[in-house]
Structures are given as C-alpha cells and as structure tokens.
Structure 1
C-alpha cells in the first residue's frame, strides 16, 4: 500500500509529466499553463489529442520506469487513471486516492428534509467571465447542486452545476443555429425557473449578450407591456427573444414593432445538441449582459455591465458580509431585476453557495412560502424590497408561522426602494418570536449603474434610524438631529457605509461637494460602475460628472453612513420647502380603504399663473361614494396634521391604475402624465382589441418579414434541388470512369457548377498555389461546415485525397464513391486507432496530395478548435510541405445541424507552404503551430484552444 507521502510525490511526478508533454507538444500552454490535477480531463480540460496522449504515455514510462499497456491510450480519461496503472505495475495500491475519489464520486447535493446539504468546501479561483465560472464549477463538481427552485410547497426541483452547464451548451448551439453572431443581444422574457438559467448562460456560452426582460403580468395591460418591451428591444437591437409559449403567440406583433428581431422562440425550439465547449473570445472587460433600469422616473435604460464590473461588486459585497460556502441564499426576487439576478444568483454562482429561488408571483400570493423556505433550507442570506417585509406583516397570520424558525437568517437585505422606518421596526418586533434577530435586518442601497450594491451596514447591528428636524431639512437641506420623541421629526434609515474600493459623495446642484449632514445629490465611483447606457450617448453623458456618476437620488452622509431622502425627479417644492412624496404615500397607504403600496403623490401644473399643485392618487376597491368622500377627507387631514402639507386634489381610483415598474416601483411621472391627459382611469379594452391595434401599426414590417422569410426558404429549396441535379451525374460518372484524374475533374467541375447554380461567389486569394500543388503535399484547412469539402473540391483543380471519418464508409452508396476518389478513412472516436491510422496513411501516401481537417469536427459556434496531430506527423515523417487553407463563410451558409442553406459568399485564402524541419515529434508540433496560427490570423475567428 502506498504511503501518503509517496502518494503525493507520485501525483506531483504525474502532473510534471503532463506539463512536460504539453510544453513540448502544446507550447501555447507555456503562456497560460493550466492547473493539472489527477481528475483533470485529458481531452476537454487539457486539450490533449490522441497523439499527444501517446507522447504522454511515453513520458510517463520514462519517468516511472514502467511499460504501460497500449489499451490505456483509449481507456485513460485523466492523469489519475494513468497513475493508477503505474502504481498497479509497481505493486502499490493507491488507497488514499481511492478514498478521495470515492468520496467525490459519492458526493450528492439533494436537499435533506431539513434543507441542509453535505457540501465539501473548495477554493474559488479568480474568474474572468461568468461562463468561465460556471464551466469551472461544472468541471470540478458537476453533481453539486447550484440551486433549488420552489414551484410549490411540495414541488422543489434541483439543478446541478453539471446539468446547467450541459443545458447552456445546448442553448448556445441552438442560438448559433438561428444565425446569431458574437456580441448579438439575446432577449430573455422568461419566468423564474430552470429555463431562465439555461437561456441566460446559453447566451453567455454563445458569446452573446443576454437582455433580461419581464414577462407580462396582466393580460389586460398587454398593449402597454408590449410597447414598453419593444422600446427595450429596439434599444438593445435584439436579434433573438426566448420566451414562454403563451407570449410566442404574439411573435408577429413583436417582430413588427422591433425591426432587428429575427426570431421569437421558446426554449424547446432553441434546444439543440450540446456544443463541444463554450464559444471563446470573451474578456473580463466585455459586456456580460444589459441590465435595464426599472424606469421609475422615465424610459428604461440599458446599463452595460462587464464581467469585471460584476466580479468587483460581488467581491466587495462579500468582503463586508464575510460570505462562505455554508451560506444559503433564498430569494423570491424576479430574475430580471439587479438584486434578484446579480445580488443573489450570480453571487451564489461566483462563490459556490447554495441558492434557493421561488417565483415572485408565488411570494405575492403566499408570502409565508418565503419564510418557510428560509426555515427549510437553513437560509442565511435573503433580500427583499421594503414592500416585501410589509406584505409579510399584513398577509401572514400567526397560524401560518406555527413552528417557524428564522434563527439561521443572518442578513435580511432591505433595499431596491425606499426603506420605511415603521416597516423595519414592526418586522423586527413581530418576527423576533420566531427566531428573527434584530441585527439581521440590513437596510442597504444599490443601483443597476453600480451592478447592484453600493452601501451595506459594516457590521451586524440593529437598524439605525436618524431623527431630523423637519423645518431645517425641508427649507435648508440640513439634517439637524432631533429628539426621538419629536412627533414632527423626519425619520431616515441608515443604509450603511460604502462597500470596499468604492466611494460616494454628496454634491449641490453645481457639483460642489457638501459637508456632513448636508442634503444633496448622491454620486459614486468605483470598479463596479458601468461605462454607460447601451446605445444611448445622451443619457450616458448626463450620467457622468468626471469620474463620478450621478445616481439621481438625494440624501446625506453622517458618520460615513448614507441616509437617502428621495429621488430628484420626485421632489415637490411647496412654499420654499422640499417635500418628498414617499412620506405622504406611506401615511395614506395605512388607511383601511387604501391599497398599501398603491398610492402616488406628485406635483402637477408648472405654469406661472396656476402654480404647482399637489395631487394624491390612491387605489381602492371601495365603490360606496360616501365612504370614498370620507377617505378623501381623511387624506387631506393626515397630510395637513402629520406632515403640514396641503393636498390640492385627491383621487380614489380602482386597483391597478397607478403605474409601476417591473420591480414594483411607482412610476410617478407616468402617473402625472396620465393625470394631466385625463387618462388616469382609462377604459380597459379587451386583449384582442389591444393586440389588433398594435398589429395594424406594424403590418408593413410584418409583410416585409414574410417576404424575406419566403425568399430564404425558396433559396434553400433551390439549393437542394441544385445539389440533386449535380450530385446524381457526378456520383454516376465517378463510379464508372477510369483513372483518378478523370474522376477528380468530374468532382471539381461539379463543385464549381453547384456554386454557380446556387449563386455562391467564391473568392480565392493566391489561387495560383492550388494549380501548382506539389505531389505529396499535405493540405490542412479549418472546418466549419459540411460544405467545406465541396468548396475545396471546387477550388483544387488537381486530384487530392481527403482524410475523412470512417463512419462515412458505412453510408449506403458512399463507400464505392469515396474509395474511387481515394478517400482515406480514419477512426476519430478511438484514440488508439487514430494513432495507427496516422502511421498507416504516412506509409501508404505514395506521393498523393492529402487533405486534412485537423480540427476533426465542427459545430455551429465560431472559433478555431485545437488541431489534432495526425496531419503534421504525416508531413514530418514524409518530409512534405504543409499548405494551410482558410475558409470563411461556409459556417454561415450551412451551420452545423441545420439543413437550410442560405445565400452568401465564401472566401478562401491559400497560405504559403510550410516546410518541416525534421521528421520527429518536435518538428510535427512546430508544423501544427505555424499552420494553425496562419489559419487563425486569416480567418478572423476567435481561438477556441482554451474556450
């Protein structure tokens, strides 16, 4: 039995052998040397092709003094598999490693009845992108649960890192098959659930930019919803939208409103076989996704957030919260909202925390589910806007909470909207009897322009409420402390201190920094700050004040802690006093007849003669006119007595009249505009009439789309017809004509005729090099489509022999055809056979010109895959030159797994011959690297070597 020290020594020697082999065969790894562990996959993690694995076995035999069986070449998946065989041959039993592997293999992440998991801790490396983060988790612990999705109390569904990774690869491939290109925007209008995560990470894996949208909440408001989403889609120039089947019924209408939108699809329609690996080329400074603002004070704006922004924000927040992998994040927040997506889901992914999610609709109808989820899964972190805590106070009875235990909840974030001192105090008081600790309540502040978080309480503590002299504050902007027993005092809740590596300040309207306890405009700066709004230079310019960014919020700083007073655009000026609507709305919302959270106060009428009027709009279900009149009178009295404010007009309106954002914030400006237009209580029209009105306005766009779609299908049908017209005589003549030169001319001219019939323009640089191909030369080309072989046949006028996968010889009617063209079959699935095939081809080349696709296979994703060594070993052994050929355009004409060709040109660049410098392994590696670099540079595609 191997001793622990000897075991560790042998593992180090094995890792050194892998790195030594890679340094010789794959010199590009010297710049970015991967981490080699005993569980690293030789192919997907380390990029070792069959010949490089063969070289590794030689190195291992030399280093350990053993002779390994040839079968190990195809059986070994990891360095640990090779080490096991080495130790067996040396008479040692790797007991310690076996125990570790067994523990890893048996790791399970199914939630226990108590909601706890046995979760092995691990060290989180530095990630550059979100997709790199998910790929790492999927590689290191694929069976570990990333999240649990609560559909109902008895229906809880888990999602592992491995399953999310595979699903995202399938969505990415499906997106490529729907013609998306790198950095295209992909709209996601999906509810909370696994499909959302597949769509979001699938877009990232395709190197596209996800754009989260919110699904329609009420059919009665479908027209307004679609107009608002069309505004976002047009700003983002979205090419594809993934949505639910119900919303897909309106696809034609949506496309008519958004010219850039080509496909409206359900996830099932995007689902395809998985990509080999995520598309490469994304950097930390690239846009990760677009987070559209809620639009509470105007039209939503697309905040451009890079991967670096996100990681800086998550890391800064974790420094304050002291997060570890025992933490459990529980959230009902919508996934299109920054706090729901970034603050919970992406931060959980980054650190490997357990995430528990539920639908916002489930929370709104049964808020107790949120608290019971915290109990069941041992939730330690959970966020909500203030109205969520208020909803729990109003809608959850004591009977609903019998047996509830909230003692695990260590941080209850309260943000995304104004924090009410009353709500904070009452929630702490009531739920303390069920284990909720006062220091868990954490009022915070953040905004999409800084990813999500900007200020947190520095240490666990009870919420801090500041009492301020009303007169001095409203008239002079001075937050002078007042006694807590002063009934007229204004109260503000501390949102904590700025997160590490960031800074905030308060400035006046001229941009001058204000001192302690002076109210003004809040600005911030730091590594989480956005670079601006997507395709909106005007708003971006207004956002920045030098290195500082304007939040649009007002507040003051005291003892380095931030106290928010309101939004600039919501400010009401009456008799020289600054009045914020939130205080009025909260007081009115406490009346019995008024729907809490559904009150809007705003100023209207800016003319000099009439002056500014204060309007209060309150929703109610009451219809009795007498009771409504009494409620209006109460509102007038409350405003005057408690707030010393005279309200000019009170309107009692039916439910769902006050407009709100997707995250539940009041759209006061929209409410004011509707009031001034006399459209506050518009008559609700049937859904069909709203949709018909939208369709009438987009019929031209829909007609043009239909014509373009018909043209594409007609072209596809003609392309296949042309293929049939050409292939039948070509197949017949190749099977009956004598001599390879004559048969090749048939194939060559047939390929050119097919290009002519399909309108495919073939542009070739250095075509003269193809006419002068020397005997015995090795031709290598990138591989992006089934069309590649046809293109090369159409361009190369002299006979060549293609190296093709052996499966083609099993296709009925093809074996004789391919044999008469001297196609050489190779086994790609079996590493041991692949090495033997390379030797066989080199021995039987006989001066033929051989054509290799060294990538071996292709998928719909752009980028150049790693090159296998067969072509270059053959060239080195035969001492023949390698001619690199680069093709672009074939992937777009016919992507992988698609059978509807589309028009477009094909460009080909024929490179200069590359001569081998010897006949050994090192020379073959040099040939491969020079050829690959040439093709990479001329193709303009990303490098998928490390993708």
Structure 2
C-alpha cells in the first residue's frame, strides 16, 4: 500500500474510533452524529468533554496498539492531533499492548514493586517548619525513598529525601539569583512531577512562600484561565512564577496582567549550584503556603496557612488514623489543592511515610492505574473526591481488574466535594470482589481554611447514611429520621467526627448554637485554623465569628457525626422551603441527552419585584429543537414529581458551557452571573484571538514594564560609567602619591563621590565610632556584595588595611595598587598557607587598623555565614578591640554573580567595641561569638550557622 493509502486508512480508523466513542458516550445521538474529520474540534464541534476525550484515547490505544502520553488529553484539539502522535509512535515500532489490565500488571509487576527498601521505623521529632522536616529526613536517612512517581506501568521514578533536599537547595539558590527576598511569594504552575517538589521546597528553603496554581487544561480556554490566575497572582503579589516551557511562551501576557511579576521561569532556568544549607529564620507561626480556594462560589481567596497550622492538622489526622511508617499513601490528586498537597504529600513527608503519586490526567485516561498502584505498592491510605470513585465504576471493566488485590487499602478517603450515597454503596459492592472492605470507605470533610481535615470517621466502620424526612428538613431544618424504605426521604452521608483538639458547631443566621439534628451554618475552631485570607481584610472579617470560623457550608450534627447538606451561597429558598441545587442537578443529570455532571441549578432575580426564579442549565450535544423541548418538559415534570420543586426556566446549552473550578466543582454563582448578563453561551474563539485581546488589554502595563526595565539598564550602564570615571584617577593617584594617609584619602573621597554619582544614600548609625578609631583595632563586617569594601572605604576617614583574598594580587594592575594601600592578602583555599598568612598578619599588624570580612566569601542567599577565626585570633593575640559593623542593602544593589547594579540606599550600623579577655584560642572563640551575635542583631539577617 502506498504512503498516501496508509495515511487515508489510518485517518479512517481514527474517524471510526472517534465515532465509536461518541456513540458510546452519547447513544441518543447515534443517528445524528456530526461528521468527523481530522480537523474537527473535539470540544466545540464534537462535544467531547474531558472524560469522553479520555475514553477516546483509550479506544485509540486499543485500535492502533500504542500507548499515548496522558498530556495528550489536554493538548489535543482535533482527531488529527491524536493521529499525529499515533503515527509518531508507530514509526518507532512500539510494543503491542494487551487489552487486559491484568496482563499489563503481570508484565510490569517488578517495575511497580517498591522493592526491598529498608523501611525501618524511627521517632519523628517535633518540627517547627516544613523545611526543618525535610532537612531532618535528608540528614537522618538521605537514601530513604520519599515518593514514587508513576508515569505509566513502565516508567516509575523514585525520589529520595536526600535528592529532594539537594534539588530544593539548587532551586533556592536560583531564586536568590533572581532577586528573591524573604517572604516573597513564588507561584508554582507545574504538573505532577519531581519538578513540582523541587520548586515547592526550593521556595521554602529560600524562606519564601510557595503559591500552588493549576496549569491550563485546554488551550481553547486560555483567556479565562489566565484571567483567573492573574487574580490570584495579583492578590499574592507573586514576584516569580515557575512553570512549564509551554506556559513560559505566554510570559509577556501574564506579566502584563500582573505588575508584581518580575520573572516567568522554567525549573531549568532556576536550577543553580546548591546552597550549603537552607536559609534559616522561618518560624512555626510564619506563613508556610498560600492555599487558594477553588472559587466555586466567588473569586479564589488565598488562605494563609502557617507551619504550625499544618503540623497541627497533620498530627490530629494521623492520631485518628493511627498511621504507621509502614503505611503507604497513594494519590492521583492534583498538587495545587489542599487534599492532594497537604492531606497527602506533606503528611507523608512529616511522618516519613512512603508516597506514591501520579498525574490527574493519567487517572482520567486510565483510572485502573490508581487501583493497580494501590495493589503493587501495598497502598494503605488513598483519597479521592466522589467523582473519582464514580469514574472507576463507569470506566473500569472487570477484565482490567483480574488479579487485583485491594485488601491493603485500609482508608479510602472520600471528600473535597459532596459525597453521593449511591456512589459509596455501588463502589463497595463492585470492588469487594477484589478485596475492598466496606469499612475502608471513609467519607470525610475538610476545607482549606483548616488546612484540609476537619472531620474523620473515628474508627473503621461501614459508611453511615442518614435518612431524614424531606418535609421537616426543607421547611423547619429538622433532620427527623425516617425509615430507609421511605422513597421521599433525603439521604445524607456521615463525614465522621471532628478531629482531636478542634471543635465544630451548628448555628443559626444570628449565631445562636442549634440543637442536635437542627440544620444550620457550620463553624469550626482549632489550632489548624487559618489566621485569615491573604491581603483580603473584608473576606477575613466575614470568615470570623469571634473564635469561630464560618465554613460557608450547611449541615447538622447527630451523635457527634457531621452531615453536610450544601453551601450557603447555593441555597435556594422557595415558598419557605430550603432547596439545595445538588439534588436537582443529580436527578437532571441522569436524563438522556443531558451530560452528567454538567448541570447547574441556581436562583436568579434576587431582590426583584417578581421574586427569585429557579433556573436549571443543562449541557447537551443534541441540536434538534423538538427533542430539546421534550427534555425541558421532562426536567420540569421530574423536578415537580420527585422533588416537589417548580422550575421556572430550563436552558439546554452546548458542551463546556457550565463553568467549573479546577477541581471540577460547579461555579454556580458564575453561571448565574453569565445567565443574567446574557453571556451564558459565549462563542468560542481561536487561541490567538484570545491572546491578542489579553495583550491589547495589558499594553499599558507592558509598556510601563518595558520602561522600568530600560531605566534599570540605563542606571546600570551609568553606574559602571561612573565607576570608570572615578576609578581611573583614583588608581593613578594611589600609584603616584606618597604616604598611606594621602592615598587613603583619595580612596575615601573617591568612594564617596561614586556613591554620590550613583545616587546611593549611605545611612549610618553610630558613625562617630568609625571616625574615632583607635590606632590598633580589628574591624569585622558581614559580607554580601563586592560593594561592601567601597562602602566601608567611603565611611572610614582614616587609613585601614583590608584583609583580602590573595587571588586579587594576581589581577594585572591591581597588585601595586593594593600593596600601596597596605592591603593584606590571605589564602582561602590552602589551609596551611591560610594559617601562615594569619600568623604573619598578627606579627606585623601592631598599631594598624585591620578590616576583616570573617565570612570569607558571599553568595546570593541572605543570611550571615559562619565566621572564620583569623580576625579574632589576631585580636586576641594583639589584645586589640573588635569593632563589629553590619552592612545592609549592598546585596540588593549588586548581588553575587550579577553585574547590573541597581539603585537603592545602603545602611551601616557600627557596634560598640568588644574587648578580648585573653590571648588564647578560647578568648578568640568568645570574641567571634560575641561579634557575630552583635552583627546578626544589627543586620537583621537570618543565621546560616543554624542547622
């Protein structure tokens, strides 16, 4: 067959695969399917949502005998895109895959096996910060595996505590080289990978605050995605965003929308030589992360969570779960949400448990990977929102699970969204044949404002489903128990009891606590509770009610168990009855022609004379108006007959119309606003047009940013020009003038002139202590920039001798200049020569003023490094006073490894003289410690001596 014939054959097979998938996903449209071409848009033309697209990839894999990368789920816009990847893989003669998940498991069992790693037990100390926890694990057992990243059956990548520690140190140093300062915010828009953990802990090691963000799922929604992310980035005032190379291409647009954002970088661009150790100074009460809410009822809010909050929550949860270091956490949850990041990854880190992660996209395309990973790694703890369990029920065939053993799975968390009683029951019934135990299913409740966990089942038990009288509950808010045989009963799943050291209560709208089985507003308090929303005082005030925090959720308590009924902002009040949209949406989503999970119910017209109207918006792929009218009528009838609810208006809309959060939750309020503005079904536009509109809207900001950048470079050029104008005559005069005092005056006034020309304000405290220096003394200063020597030269009017690295004497033209200023060279690399240099200086320095930088060197990271002993041994031997000096501002003005100086002031504080108490080593050590403590206090720098 010719190449063109093969191409046509493969295109036909691809079109058949798409048609088969559409027929299975939308059987009601089997006879009216749109024509499939290689350029058909998967979403707008064919109506394939994320789950259906995932099913399509599975069908294509089986038809063509290839294994497609899971990122194709978000990257492919047309069948042609998928075919291109198939042809690329076929050209490489891929291995033929078996259809059965059992054969895949048998073939790769050794790959997924965690191996014979020694998982010895150990006592975990009380950590103050996350970085302290990682540092401890890296020091105590660096080769112990922290996590396995499952990319697919044949690609499982491990990451040890030691490797994570080293990678985080590299990222931290790279952040410092991009001018990050303490408590700056670092946005992480990275998929599940080792890179995410390097970036997260690298930010912490730099004493910055990581801000997890979710990457865009589909290019067709890029405009809306960037706008929502810009809201978060502006609230966080992020200075750096670490992301994937594809997103970096949009850096100019993003920076145009976020004035504070200075750098959009890939991890490779942040990767640098590792720091010697993390920057210290973080405390337990400091913000550890900003966890942004999903924004299901409004704009995302940044929940400020301290290290102490996180450890209190993790510790309370572990106490309930009775975790052991033999436990294995398996998760496919995204790392930008609290349940995936805090509840899974950070809790595993804290306790030293084994963690197994995989991409959410991999789970969506092949949900059986999740269950096989639990089997192969002996997973004991694993979480999922309700829809994940539902996806397993719908997408996994029995033959794919042949030989599966889920008996190790002791806690299957079900949270992060409403828990469906039907899903709970059906999952237990279906997977019990593969060892899943009834008591393993654990509906839970939590929220970002409490880190993650708030209620857990107190002990292993069957899920508890409460049946309550519909009339009493909707009219009076009383959860009156009725028989499970009552077909009209409302059903609520118990989310367990409040975790230790925390408390919950139910209150009415006036804040009065309600009795048991009375529905109302849920509040909580405890050591995990946030201090508020980051840079959002108004929402923080709404959050707090004295010591209690409002969850925004409604529910009731019975036998100390929490039962949730819905969200306050979603509540619909009709004829004195409380109606929750979730029940309507679930019933409507089961109808033919309606896309399940893509139905939104809300009240519109609040405050208008005719009162609120109940609106139901349902997505469908059907185009026939007659059939759509029939569906609308059926929705009204079912709502009235089954739920006794009158629907005022039903809208049948196309796929991807109902807005959702990154976690798949319905954004009902956003849907309502779009409906009221008449923008519900917005026409999808090409990506280039969306980006062009964003760029056009931010042209002013981008122009201002360009001007600022140009101004910085102009300043840098002028600073170096001024340096040349000053240094040349200073160099000439020092080389020809007689006497050290005269030469020093040239250097002193030359340095002051340079500060004047570059607009560098020299702020000094206790400057008289430098003007009245005794003839014999030792001046010691912190060292963070090449500018430090110039700053001291500008402030000290009398001759001093700097102790400098010997390498400077090898620079052409400098040796005579430095010698005539009585600069004393010392060896840094050769220990023996360094000791000899120190002895030589001590023997010849009597009566001279010596200036030491006892740190010896500097780098881009903040903090005071360990002090070398030369200065203090010299002071002790000569019985001369030590004068501590703290310089701040030079690191920002000219950081290490950078040659573009920036404007800004420099501050210098001169401490009181420190007298030596003897001439021995012990006295020198005491001098060093006293001087270092003084400089630490005066400079405000973190202490890099601490470990």
Cα deviation code 1:335-394 (max 9, x no counterpart): 111101110111111111111111212212222221122122221111111011111111
5+ unaligned residues in a row in structure 1: which ranges?
A: 1-109
1:529 matched to which residue of 2?
529
Please give the alpha-carbon distance, in whole angstroms, between the structure 2 residues aligned to 1:424 and 1:732. Answer: 85
Give the C-alpha shift of residue 491 in structure 1. Answer: 0.8
Please give the alpha-carbon distance, in whole angstroms, between the structure 1 residues aligned to 2:588 and 2:846. Answer: 93
Asked if 2 retains the 8 angstrom alpha-carbon contact of 1:387 and 1:597, the reply is no
Please give the alpha-carbon distance, in whole angstroms, between the structure 1 residues aligned to 2:800 and 2:608. Answer: 87
2:656 matched to which residue of 1?
656
**Structure-2 change in CA distance of 1:812 and 1:628 (3 Å):** farther
**Structure-2 change in CA distance of 1:551 and 1:730 (3 Å):** same
Cα deviation code 1:186-233 (max 9, x no counterpart): 222222212222222122122222221111222222222222122212
1:366 matched to which residue of 2?
366
Please give the alpha-carbon distance, in whole angstroms, between the structure 2 residues aligned to 1:150 and 1:260. Answer: 36
Give the C-alpha shift of residue 180 in structure 1. Answer: 2.6
**Structure-2 change in CA distance of 1:779 and 1:669 (3 Å):** same
2:468 matched to which residue of 1?
468
Cα deviation code 1:802-834 (max 9, x no counterpart): 223344445555555544544333343455654
Please give the alpha-carbon distance, in whole angstroms, between the structure 1 residues aligned to 2:251 and 2:219. Answer: 16
Please give the alpha-carbon distance, in whole angstroms, between the structure 2 residues aligned to 1:815 and 1:163. Answer: 43
**Structure-2 change in CA distance of 1:696 and 1:800 (3 Å):** same
Which residues in structure 2 correspond to 1:933-944 (within 5 Å)? 933-944=933-944
Which residues in structure 2 correspond to 1:441-840 (within 5 Å)? 441-606=441-606, 609-731=609-731, 740-741=740-741, 743-811=743-811, 814-815=814-815, 817-829=817-829, 834-840=834-840
Give the C-alpha shift of residue 626 in structure 1. Answer: 4.2
Please give the alpha-carbon distance, in whole angstroms, between the structure 2 residues aligned to 1:210 and 1:521. Answer: 32
Please give the alpha-carbon distance, in whole angstroms, between the structure 2 residues aligned to 1:524 and 1:318. Answer: 19
TM-score between the two structures when normalised by the length of structure 2? 0.85
Please give the alpha-carbon distance, in whole angstroms, between the structure 2 residues aligned to 1:865 and 1:459. Answer: 50
Asked if 2 retains the 8 angstrom alpha-carbon contact of 1:276 and 1:859, the reply is no
Asked if 1 retains the 8 angstrom alpha-carbon contact of 2:326 and 2:353, the reply is yes
Asked if 1 retains the 8 angstrom alpha-carbon contact of 2:112 and 2:373, the reply is no
2:841 matched to which residue of 1?
841
Please give the alpha-carbon distance, in whole angstroms, between the structure 1 residues aligned to 2:914 and 2:492. Answer: 74
5+ unaligned residues in a row in structure 2: which ranges?
A: 1-108
Cα deviation code 1:167-189 (max 9, x no counterpart): 22222222222223222222222
Please give the alpha-carbon distance, in whole angstroms, between the structure 2 residues aligned to 1:173 and 1:327. Answer: 34
Deviates more, 1:502-511 or 1:905-914: 905-914
1:394 matched to which residue of 2?
394
Please give the alpha-carbon distance, in whole angstroms, between the structure 2 residues aligned to 1:125 and 1:814. Answer: 53
Give the C-alpha shift of residue 852 in structure 1. Answer: 0.9
Give the C-alpha shift of residue 555 in structure 1. Answer: 0.8
Please give the alpha-carbon distance, in whole angstroms, between the structure 2 residues aligned to 1:666 and 1:477. Answer: 25
1:19 matched to which residue of 2?
none
1:910 matched to which residue of 2?
910
- Asked if 1:895 corresponds to 2:895, the answer is yes
Give the C-alpha shift of residue 456 in structure 1. Answer: 0.2
Please give the alpha-carbon distance, in whole angstroms, between the structure 1 residues aligned to 2:163 and 2:814. Answer: 38
Please give the alpha-carbon distance, in whole angstroms, between the structure 1 residues aligned to 2:608 and 2:792. Answer: 78
Deviates more, 1:587-596 or 1:392-401: 587-596
Q: Could you say what secondary structure the match of 1:522 adopts?
A: strand
Cα deviation code 1:611-661 (max 9, x no counterpart): 322222222233344443443343333323322223222222222111111
> Across the two proteins, how many residue pairs are aligned to each other?
838
Asked if 2 retains the 8 angstrom alpha-carbon contact of 1:242 and 1:267, the reply is yes
Cα deviation code 1:667-716 (max 9, x no counterpart): 11111111122211111112222222222222222111111100101111
2:179 matched to which residue of 1?
179
2:53 matched to which residue of 1?
none
- Asked if 1:946 corresponds to 2:936, the answer is no
Give the C-alpha shift of residue 910 in structure 1. Answer: 2.9
TM-score between the two structures when normalised by the length of structure 1? 0.85
CA-based RMSD of the aligned residues comes to 2.2
Q: Could you say what secondary structure the match of 2:843 adopts?
A: helix
Deviates more, 1:427-436 or 1:147-156: 147-156
1:407 matched to which residue of 2?
407
Asked if 2 retains the 8 angstrom alpha-carbon contact of 1:328 and 1:377, the reply is yes
1:83 matched to which residue of 2?
none
Asked if 2 retains the 8 angstrom alpha-carbon contact of 1:760 and 1:904, the reply is yes
**Structure-2 change in CA distance of 1:758 and 1:393 (3 Å):** same
1:131 matched to which residue of 2?
131
Please give the alpha-carbon distance, in whole angstroms, between the structure 2 residues aligned to 1:364 and 1:604. Answer: 34
Give the C-alpha shift of residue 545 in structure 1. Answer: 1.2
Please give the alpha-carbon distance, in whole angstroms, between the structure 2 residues aligned to 1:575 and 1:769. Answer: 81
Give the C-alpha shift of residue 490 in structure 1. Answer: 0.9
Please give the alpha-carbon distance, in whole angstroms, between the structure 1 residues aligned to 2:817 and 2:151. Answer: 56
Give the C-alpha shift of residue 279 in structure 1. Answer: 1.9
Please give the alpha-carbon distance, in whole angstroms, between the structure 1 residues aligned to 2:341 and 2:301. Answer: 17
Please give the alpha-carbon distance, in whole angstroms, between the structure 1 residues aligned to 2:551 and 2:363. Answer: 29
Please give the alpha-carbon distance, in whole angstroms, between the structure 2 residues aligned to 1:775 and 1:677. Answer: 80
**Structure-2 change in CA distance of 1:924 and 1:400 (3 Å):** same
Deviates more, 1:338-347 or 1:764-773: 764-773
**Structure-2 change in CA distance of 1:111 and 1:207 (3 Å):** farther
1:352 matched to which residue of 2?
352
